[in-house]
Amino acid sequence: MAVVSDPYAAVVDPQDSRARVDAAVRTGAGLTLWLGLLLVSYWWATGGGFQDLAGWETGLTSAGRLTGLLASDLLLVQVLLMARVPFLEAAYGQDRLARLHRVVGFTSFNLMVAHIVLITWGYAAGELTRTPATLWELTVDYPGMLLAVAGTACLVVVVVTGVKAARARLRYESWHLLHLYAYLGVGLALPHQLWTGQEFLASPGGTVFWWGLWGLSVGAVLLWRIGLPLWRSVRHRIRVTSVVREDDGVTSVYMTGRRLDRLPAEAGQFFGWRFLTGPGWTRAHPYSLSAAPDAHSLRITVKDLGDDSARLRALRPGTRVLVEGPYGRLSARARSRRRIAFLAAGIGVTPLRALAEGMSYAPGEAVLLYRFADRPLFERELRLLVAERGLGLIWLPGHRRAPRSWLGAGVGPADDVAALRYWVPDVAERDVYVCGPEAWAEDVRRTTEAAGLSPDRFHVESFGW
């Protein structure tokens, strides 16, 4: 990359202008979402939806139809959002996609509940007392309805276990398994839409739209969630080459594979990994690359937090590895400025260590602020980056000094914003890359915003779920 004389100039490397493409994809995706909802509402309106609202019973049924259609549309959008569609992954990143998935998910679920209540109430001639009996009749007499009820039950399980309080009580594996019931729930709802729903087949446009959306969702899951990871795992035949202890409970796994130059991974990204050692291989765990990937090697660095992460210490060279990814947007892809700042906490330093190695910058253009409890990871490697690349490095030792502060206890009494401005006076003019626990990352977000950083230049990955 050519070094430009103005240090605050936007990045000029054509590779990094992918940020503009991603912005266009986000705009396009947002417009498509709203267009879909508009079309569905239009078909409902042209089918007499508004006129039906004039009567009590017909109004209930009509409102029920509209909420059902909007819920179906959003349920399929949900599936698409989590189908690992590469251009959506690149444009939004995992964190943002997961947040969108949550908002769209809860909205579609609420609409679905409204649909069930309103339709049943309408079929019960608008009499509340008759609705339980009507619900029973609808379930057993109408084609596809029994399946739809089973599908609804699956979605209820997914939503209830998705609520934060419930999630905190579940192991990740249990939550993830239950979450897969969402696919079953969506799949079971299809027959009733086909056989009972009027709008589904009412007009050629509607038929094309609904079949197209269903086909797209199923195709996206098969292609990107299942097909592509399998293809990449077979093609690259990734194997463990060595396992190195970095610190108490922290291990690096070095891997190699065939044609890794064709694996489109970048520093800062992560994969879902399955090590074929026996127990635990059925669960893919996300780990970021802790070194910039090259044509011959990949490295991850993992902290023991549970059974599967602890098992990595005992991996043997030659162990086969299945991968899903690369995912994530905490990479050069999100960059829009030459000057960058990395803020890491604990094991969150892994992707930022890779970025500090893999990104292009001139001496003084990049700085890493690294908070750690006892000892920093990668101390020797980071000092080498300081010496060879001119990376600025600020150690922030100590546990968090207060719940709402991103600083360690070892840095003295300065307030969060003043401290950040002291170390990185031009922070508002940089791209800021952040990785660490979710609550800590939120504190960093607040601090950088208070220091004047525009939210679109704050790039974050947290290791939670």
Ligand X SMILES: Cc1cc2nc3c(=O)[nH]c(=O)nc-3n(C[C@H](O)[C@H](O)[C@H](O)COP(=O)(O)OP(=O)(O)OC[C@H]3O[C@@H](n4cnc5c(N)ncnc54)[C@H](O)[C@@H]3O)c2cc1C
Task: Note whether 305 binds ligand X by CB under 6 A.
Answer: yes
Task: Note whether 460 binds ligand X by CB under 6 A.
Answer: no
Nearer to ligand X, 233 or 251 (CB): 251
Q: Which amino acid is at 423?
A: W
Q: What minimum distance in Å lies between the beta carbon of 306 and ligand X? A: 2
Task: Note whether 287 binds ligand X by CB under 6 A.
Answer: yes
Q: In what order do the strands lie in the sheet with 458-462?
A: 392-397, 366-372, 340-345, 431-436, 458-462
Structure tokens of 450?
A: 């208070």
Q: What minimum distance in Å lies between the beta carbon of 346 and ligand X? A: 9
Task: Note whether 465 binds ligand X by CB under 6 A.
Answer: yes
Contact characters 152-171, ligand X, x per CB under 6 A: -------------------x
Residues 212/213/214/217 CA torsion (nearest 10 deg): 120
Span from 7-15, 143-151, 190-198, 280-288 in contact with ligand X (CB under 6 A): 280-288
Nearer to ligand X, 209 or 270 (CB): 270
Choice from 172, 195, 254, 395 touching ligand X (CB under 6 A): 172
Task: Note whether 361 binds ligand X by CB under 6 A.
Answer: no
Site for ligand X in 61-100 (CB under 6 A): 94
Identify whether the C-beta of residue 462 lies closer than 8 Å to the C-beta of residue 432. no
Site for ligand X in 306-345 (CB under 6 A): 306-309
Q: What minimum distance in Å lies between the beta carbon of 126 and ligand X? A: 47
Q: What minimum distance in Å lies between the beta carbon of 98 and ligand X? A: 9
Identify whether the C-beta of residue 67 lies closer than 8 Å to the C-beta of residue 118. yes
Span from 73-81, 225-233, 302-310, 416-424 in contact with ligand X (CB under 6 A): 302-310
Classify strands 340-345 and 320-327 as parallel, antiparallel or unpaired.
unpaired
Choice from 29, 75, 302, 382 touching ligand X (CB under 6 A): 302
Task: Note whether 347 binds ligand X by CB under 6 A.
Answer: yes
Q: What minimum distance in Å lies between the beta carbon of 172 and ligand X? A: 4
Choice from 319, 350, 447, 448 touching ligand X (CB under 6 A): 350
Q: What minimum distance in Å lies between the beta carbon of 311 and ligand X? A: 8
Write the burial class of residue 453 (CB in 10 Å: 0-12 exposed, 13-18 middle, 19+ buried).
Answer: buried
How many binding residues for ligand X (CB under 6 A)?
22
Query: H-helix or E-strand containing 198?
Result: none
- Say how far apart CA 422 and CA 382 lie, in whole Å: 21
Q: What minimum distance in Å lies between the beta carbon of 26 and ligand X? A: 20
- Say how far apart CA 124 and CA 61 lie, in whole Å: 10
Nearer to ligand X, 171 or 258 (CB): 171
CA angle 317-319-322, nearest 5°?
140
Cβ partners under 8 Å of residue 8, min gap 6: 337, 338, 339, 426, 429
Q: What stretches of 2-144 show up as alpha helix (H) in DSSP?
A: 18-46, 49-52, 56-81, 86-92, 94-123, 131-141
Nearer to ligand X, 235 or 375 (CB): 375
Which residue has tokens 């969150």?
Answer: 348
| Residues in contact with ligand X by the rule CB under 6 A | 94, 171-172, 270, 285-288, 300-303, 305-309, 347, 350, 461, 463, 465
